[in-house]
């Protein structure tokens, strides 16, 4: 019972942090059920769908509950993704990442395949776990009653970009993104590799 209260307190603190950061934005809470056989991996998973507003003209999708499922000594991760439009596929995708994270412990600069395009028509079929550059360090650092969570950005990338990153390094790939001035919320953006 104490552990459940601790998990729920962390979820509530994450939600409060996101609401404070995105003050002036509409925030919808989705209690996401991963389904039979999976819900134990991230039992308290919620997805926050944050509408456009004063901080950003894009939608942000943020997990709450990953920290509760996978933290070490009070330190853990939650995830944020961005999109130009309200997309139910984004909720499904970030929930899939939460489940994957519970078994594989994603961290900064990890990549993961998503099996399909990020959104219809996109060449991006992998995710790069990165710093939340679109929102900054104030979103990244989330204090919790029993530790802290880092909110890391899930940046959709192409297979070619993943290969470039493996051959060079993540900083070289991020430099290519900067040089090309990509719009990371555009599912139809061209690959930089």
Where does residue 184 fall: left (phi above 0), alpha (psi -120 to 50 degrees), or beta otherwise?
alpha
Q: Are 14 and 78 in contact (CB under 8 A)?
A: yes
Average pLDDT over residues 127-155: 94
Report DSSP letters for the chain, one per residue.
-HHHHHHHHHHHHHHHHHHHHTTTS-EEEEE----TTTTTTSTT-EEEEEPP-SS-SSEEEEEESHHHHSEETTEEEEEEEEESS--HHHHHHHHHHHHHHHHH---TT-EEE-SS-SSTT--EEEEEEE--TTT-HHHHEEEETTEEEEEEEEEEEEHHHHHHHHHS-HHHHHHHHHHHT--TT-TTPPP--
128 pLDDT more than 80: yes
Q: Are 73 and 12 in contact (CB under 8 A)?
A: no
pLDDT confidence band for 174 (50 / 70 / 90): very high
Query: What's the pLDDT at 34?
Result: 85
* 36 vs 55, residue with greater confidence: 55
Average pLDDT over residues 152-170: 96
* 18 vs 71, residue with greater confidence: 18
CA–CA distance, 23 with 37 (Å, rounded to integer)? 36
Query: What's the pLDDT at 2?
Result: 79
85 pLDDT more than 90: no
Query: What is the tens place of the pLDDT at every residue in 27-48?
Result: 999 888 888 878 888 988 999 9
Q: Are 78 and 11 in contact (CB under 8 A)?
A: no
Interaxial angle between packed helices 170-180 and 159-167, expressed in degrees from 0 to 180 and rounded to the nearest 10: 130
CA–CA distance, 66 with 129 (Å, rounded to integer)? 14
69 pLDDT more than 90: no
Query: What's the pLDDT at 35?
Result: 86
């Amino acid at each position: 019972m104490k552990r459940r209260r601790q998990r729920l307190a962390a979820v509530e603190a994450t939600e409060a942090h996101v609401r404070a950061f995105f003050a002036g934005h509409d925030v919808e809470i989705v209690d996401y059920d991963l389904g039979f056989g999976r819900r134990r991996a991230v039992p308290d998973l919620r997805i926050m769908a944050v509408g456009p507003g004063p901080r950003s003209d894009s939608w942000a999708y943020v997990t709450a509950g990953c920290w509760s499922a996978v933290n070490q000594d009070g330190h853990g991760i939650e995830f944020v993704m961005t999109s130009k439009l309200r997309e139910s596929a984004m909720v499904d995708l970030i929930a899939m990442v939460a489940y994957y994270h519970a078994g594989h412990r994603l961290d900064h600069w990890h990549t993961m395949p998503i099996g399909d395009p990020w959104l219809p028509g996109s060449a991006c079929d992998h995710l790069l776990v990165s710093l939340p550059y679109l929102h900054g360090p104030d979103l990244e650092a989330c204090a919790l009653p029993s530790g802290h969570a880092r909110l890391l950005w899930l940046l959709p990338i192409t297979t070619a970009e993943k290969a470039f990153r493996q051959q060079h390094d993540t900083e070289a790939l991020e430099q290519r993104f900067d040089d090309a001035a990509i719009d990371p919320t555009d599912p139809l953006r061209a690959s930089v590799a």
